[in-house]
Each structure stands twice: as C-alpha cells, then as structure tokens.
Amino acid sequence: MSKFYNVFLGGKSGAIGLGILAALLLVVFPMALDVFRLNLMAKYLSYAFVAIGLVVCWGHGGILSLGQGVFWGLGGYCIAAFLKLEAARNIALEATSDQMKALTTLGLPDFMDWNQITELPWFWYGFKSLPVSIILMFVVPSVLAYLLGTAIFKRRVAGVYFAIITQALAWIMEMLFVTRQGWTGGINGITDLRTMWGWDIRTTSAQYTLYFTTSVLLLACILVCRGILNSKLGRLLVALRDEEDRVRFSGYDAANIKRFAFVVAAIISALGGGLFVMNVGFMSPKLVTIEPSIYMVIFCAVGGRMSLIGAVYGALVVQFGRTWFSEQYPAMWYFLMGGVFIVVTRYFPNGLAGIYDDYVAPLFKKLGSRRPKAVASGFDSTAPAIVPNTVNTTGN
Amino acid sequence: MMHMMLPMLAQTSWDEYKAIFLMQGFAGLSLFSVFLLMSLGLAIIFGQMRVINMAHGEFLTLGAYVTAIMSTFVMESFPDFMPYYFPLAVVGAFVAAFIVGYLVEFSLIRHLYNRPLDTLLATWGVSMVMQECFRQLFGARETSATLPDWLMGSWAPTEQIDIPLNGLLMLGMSIGMLLLVYLLLYRSRWGLRVRATTMNRAMAGAVGINTKRTDRVTFALGCGIAGIAGAGFTTIGSVSPTAGSAYIVDTFIVVVFGGAGSLIGTLISAFAIGQAQSILEFFLTGVLAKVFVLLAVIVILMMRPQGLFAQKVRR
C-alpha cells in the first residue's frame, strides 16, 4: 500500500494534487456546470489525454512529437467508424418510404453512398463490432507509433528532425483522409453519430455518464503514467533526455526506452480521441492536422511539461481561454493566444506547474514553518518530498 | 498508372512528346525555384542558427504585403514608374522583414538559444500575432500586386512550348539569391563570423567575435531573405494573412532533407523535391504526389538522419 502511495500517487504532494483534481472533475464541475458546459468540459478533457501523453514522451523523454493529433485522430476515427456503421444500419432499417430505401444502402455510411461506393471496404469490416473497434482504437495507433518509433529511434533521429517528421506525418494523414472521401468522409469527417449498442449518446444522462467516464479514465491515465515515470524506466527516460550517450554507453537500449514512451503516449492519445468522438459526436480531419497537433503541445507546455496534473490544467485553461476569448473578443483572441505562447515559453518554461512550484509552494512552506503547531504535528517542511514534478528542466 | 499513359503517349508525335517533357521539366523547375527561395532564409535561421522559426512563413507574407502595397501606391501616384518599381519593392520587402526579424530576435529569440525546441512554440505564438496583425491592417481578403507589363506574358521558343515570364523571374531570383547567400556565408568576413558563432558560441566569443550582434544580424538577415521570397511570390500568386503558413512545412522539409547547414544540400533537395513532385503529379493526383514525396523524404531521412549533405562538425 505504501508502495502504491509513493509510486502511483507520488507521495504527499502528488496525492494532494491528484485529490484536488479528482474533486474538481468529479464533484465541483458536475455540480457547478449545466449539461452543455459539462459536455464542453468533457471535450476539453479528451484533449488533456494527449497532453498527459506528451508529458511522458516530451517532458520526461525529450521526444517532441508534433504529430500527436494523428494518434488522437486514429483512435477517434476507429470509434467514429463503429458508431457510424450502427447509425447507418438504423437509418436504413427505419426507412419507411421506398424512396428513402432507394437512397440508403443497408449498413453503408451515407458518405459512401454519395461517393458511389456500393460495398463496405474490407478495412471497415472490423468496425461492425464494438469490442473489435475498441481493440482497434488502441492497436492501430500503437502499431503506427511502434513502427515509426522503431524506424526513427533505431536510426537515432532526434529533436528537431523527429518533430519535422511527425509534422509531415500529420500532414500526410490529413491529405489522405480529406481526399479518400468514400472511405473516410472527406473534409467533413464522420458525422451524425447517434447510438452505441442502442444507447443514445446524445441524451443528457448519456452526456453525464460520458463525462464521468472521461474524468475517471483521465485520472486512471495519470496514475499509470505516474507509475511509469516513478519507476526505473521513468528515470532512464529523463537520463536519456539529458545525456543520451551516457545511458547508451551504460548498456541500455536507448531506442527501446524511447519507443516505449512514444507508444504509451500514442495509446493514451488514442483513448482521448475515442472519448472525444463519444462526447462530441463527430470526427474530422481538421481536428488532426498540424495546427491542432501544435495546440496539443501548447496544452502540455502551458500546464508544465514535467507535470501530469499540470498538463490537464493546461489543456483546460488554454481551451477555455480559446473559447472565451473568441466569444468575447473575436478580433483580439489571436493576439492574446499568441501572446500566451510567447510569454509562457519565454518566462515560464515549466508552465503552470512551474509557477506553482516556484512561487506558490514556497509560500505554503513559509506559512507552514511559521506555525509551530504544524511542525509539532510532524509536518517537516525541510524534508525533500518525493515530487516528480519538480525535476530540474534546464535542458530542452 | 503507366499502362494508362501508354496509349496516350503512342499517339503523341515526337515533337509534342518533347514539348510535354520540357514543359513538365519547367513546371518542376518553377516549383524548385519556389522551394529554394523559401528555404534560403530558413537555411540560415534553422540550418546555421538551429532556431526553429515557425513564423518564417509570416515574414514571407510580410514581404509580399510590402510589394503589394508598393505596387498599388506606384500605380496610383506614379504610373510612369510602374515598369521599374519591382526591384525597389524587393528592397522594401527585405528591409521590412529585416527590421521585424531584428526586433523579434532582440525581444524573444535571444533568450531561447539554449532551448531549441522552445523556439518552436514561441515562434508559433509570433506567427499567430503576425497573422492577426496582417488581418487587422490589410483585411482578411486576398490582395495581389499589380505586375509591371514586362512580367506578364510568356516566352515561347517553339510553337508548343510556352514558358511564363514570372516563372523565369522566380527562377532567376532564386538562383541569384542562392549565389548571394553563398557569397555572404562562405566568402565574406561576416560569414566566417556567423559560422564560427553557430559552431561554437563560447569559442567564437573568446576570440573576440561579438556573438550577440552576429546572432541578431544573422536572424534578421534570414527573415529579410524570406521577405524577398515574399516579393517574388507576388508575381505568381495573391497574398492573404495566412499565405505564408501554407508553405512552412514544405520549407522545413526542404532544409531538413538537404541537411541543415549545407547550402548545396538545400539546393539539391529543393531540386529533387520540386522535380519529383511535378513528375508524380503528371501521373497521379496532386495530393497523392505530395504524399508520396513526403513519404519518400521521411524514408530517406531515416536512412540519413542528418539529411543528404550533413555538416561535418566535431562534437
């Protein structure tokens, strides 16, 4: 139990941070927000998965991927494909007039009809079943990440080169998904998703259920990533980021460790994509191209690239700011968002978590040490707590 | 795809075949000149200084806007000067982009030299701000420069071959700029300072080079060259606030593929990518051609992680 406490919760401060986040997500937000805002929050949270993945592979591993949108999108598309097939089946069955029956083919998504495709393409067969779709949601992105990771890290492509390659990958994926209209729904993506195994995902109760599912899975992902980062593997990852050659000379397979981090990030991102589709009800290639992928990195940077919990706040703050600014000051929001990126990278390389560690936490400590009672009750402000979030990040 | 092309090719006469070949070759050449012109500035900023400047496209847009504004101004106020304004616009575009680049380096980039990946995020912010500035100043609609008469029209050496003059101008400009950048970087005192600074900043400072000034001028110069590319761009297309950002990935791919820090690498990679894309476009759709070229570049980059012509540096 104490191992669980130290490794997965990250000791006292980690447990408190996670507790506050859990309370916010599971109690405060559902009570304070109406169902529309809560659904919006679930949408934001499904992006937070990517940010968590980026903390693992970028913050700790130094692998900056500008193509996380690809994995997020592939996960989303897998779920969207299943939901679309189910919707198509229902629409064809519910068709009453002969005219409607002539317009719809049983079990074929509408965009395939529009593109003169008469038979379901073979790679869509798996999406007829929900379990297979869920498996594919994890398998497709992780296989891609595995292959890419093998090819790239074995050849020791790193840093900027890796970033550019992943960016090109995001672009390739967008171009393919947009032009292969009959297979992917083209620029509109896969829209008009309604039910999942007969369960209407658009009702209020479904949106509540999906919000709580998203929150709980997000918290679970944080725990798993904490476990990874606090293990020996996590320390190796940081060592690789800071001094790769030394780790390699010590006999470790650097490529293998990096690939693991990359695949973990891809799987978590894919989960977020799948949840996004269920929460929002559509998926489109516009959400997975270069710009959204850079935004995902920004979420992570604003929250703090070393802090798993910070990444969630970063995703929430940036997306909320984006929505709010574009509603309140439509002309100004680009300036403001640009300014935020500049200021955060220039002055707060560790993001919100860095602000907390540098300014807020010392304040608490000061307050704590002034009160003799706190010291007497065993609160030792001088002992170094196990805080994975405060690892020094002077490197890239 | 070849078997579909063959019957068509069988019917074409030798002359027509040659004309198609030449025109296609020229299409590739003009793509090459576009890539080269865009990449030269980045070859300095990213190749030499290792700064990932995501706002590079916006400096290009800035140059294009300067040219467009100058063309409108000249046409309204001094219509007689119209045939000669273009060289002046190129200088204006360079100066504007140089000044903005200088300010960006001074206020932001110089704090980030030891954090290369962070320059990516910060300059992404810069690009957003610049785009919004363009939108506020010039409106969201596309504008275009009025070209002088001598740039319209085309050059037709034979009946079937038809080569547009603006394409030739772009080709001339990119080759000229390449020579200029080469002379600046490898045949001048200043270039020596730049290369010394980027290879080993501490050592360069120790032997008396003002590295801060060198960095600032180098960055500004790279931006200025992007501005010139923007001026060249107005001859082949219109300008909108987001015009430059459409090319940023292409530009990075060209520089990375050629090997950052190698000018000859940039030249060859721009040529290879331009020709490959234009030839593939002849057989496939434009998008598929692009996808194939990008995939090929990725695969080759995996075989040669430092690009085609890696700079030889001792670490």
Q: If pLDDT is split at 50, 70 and 90, which confidence band does B164 have?
A: confident
Distance of CA A151 to the CA centre of its chain: 24
CA A98 – CA B166 distance, rounded (Å): 58
pLDDT at B145: 80
Q: Stretch B43-61: mean pLDDT, rounded?
A: 90
Chain A nearest-CA distance from B309, in A, is 14
pLDDT at B312: 63
CA A98 – CA A243 distance, rounded (Å): 69
CA B206 – CA B40 distance, rounded (Å): 29
Residues in chain A closer than 8 A to B126 (CB atoms):
338, 342
Q: Stretch A79-86: mean pLDDT, rounded?
A: 90
Residue in this structure with the two tokens 């030839």, named with its chain if needed: B279
Q: Rounded mean pLDDT of chain A?
A: 84
Residues in chain A closer than 8 A to B286 (CB atoms):
none
- Side chain identity at B64, as an amino acid letter? A
Q: Rounded mean pLDDT of chain B?
A: 86
The residue among A345, A348, A394 with the most chain B CBs within 10 A of its CB, best to mutate, is: A345
Least confident of A209-223, A344-358, B82-96, B104-118: A344-358
Angle subtended at Cα A176 by Cα A175 and Cα A179, rounded to the nearest 5 degrees: 80
Q: In chain A, pLDDT over 90 holds for what percent of residues?
A: 37
pLDDT at A105: 67
Nearest partner of B276 among B28, B3, B107, judged by Cα: B28
CA A379 – CA A16 distance, rounded (Å): 14
Least confident of A36-45, A216-225, A357-366, B196-205: A357-366
Closest B-chain CA to A172: B291
Nearest residue, CB atoms, B305 vs list A155, A167, A179:
A155
Tokens matching residue A119: 């038979």
Chain A nearest-CA distance from B44, in A, is 15
Contact A335 B301 (CB under 8 A): no
pTM of the predicted model as reported, rounded to 2 decimal places: 0.86
With contact defined as beta carbons under 8 Å apart, do A54 and A310 qualify?
Answer: no
CA A243, B114, A64, A342 dihedral sign is positive
CA A201 – CA A79 distance, rounded (Å): 13
The residue among A58, A161, A164 with the most chain B CBs within 10 A of its CB, best to mutate, is: A164
Return all residues near A257 (Cβ < 8 A) that are at least 6 apart.
Answer: A61, A233, A236, A237, A240
Chain B nearest-CA distance from A135, in A, is 27
Q: If pLDDT is split at 50, 70 and 90, which confidence band does B24 have?
A: confident
Nearest partner of B102 among B230, B227, B217, judged by Cα: B217
With contact defined as beta carbons under 8 Å apart, do A168 and B257 qualify?
Answer: no
Q: If pLDDT is split at 50, 70 and 90, which confidence band does A390 have?
A: very low
Contact B122 A341 (CB under 8 A): yes
Residues in chain A closer than 8 A to B117 (CB atoms):
64, 159-160, 163, 396
pLDDT at A140: 94
Q: Stretch B136-148: mean pLDDT, rounded?
A: 84
Contact B111 A341 (CB under 8 A): no
Does B239 score more than 70 pLDDT? yes
Q: Which value, in Å, is the radius of gyration of the alpha carbons in chain B?
A: 21
User: What is the signed CA dihedral for A68, A70, A76, A80, rounded to 10 degrees?
Assistant: 170
Backbone angles phi and psi of A196, in degrees to 5: -130, 110
Nearest residue, CB atoms, B124 vs list A155, A335, A341:
A341
pLDDT at B11: 61
HSE (CB half, 13 Å, CA atoms) of A59? 37
Q: Stretch B286-310: mean pLDDT, rounded?
A: 86
Q: DSSP state, A97?
A: S
The residue among B127, B128, B253 with the most chain A CBs within 10 A of its CB, best to mutate, is: B128
Residues in chain B closer than 8 A to A331 (CB atoms):
132, 136
Summarised one tens digit per residue, pLDDT across range A259-310 is 999 999 999 999 999 999 999 988 999 888 888 998 899 899 888 888 899 9
Q: If pLDDT is split at 50, 70 and 90, which confidence band does B1 have?
A: very low
Does B73 score more than 50 pLDDT? yes
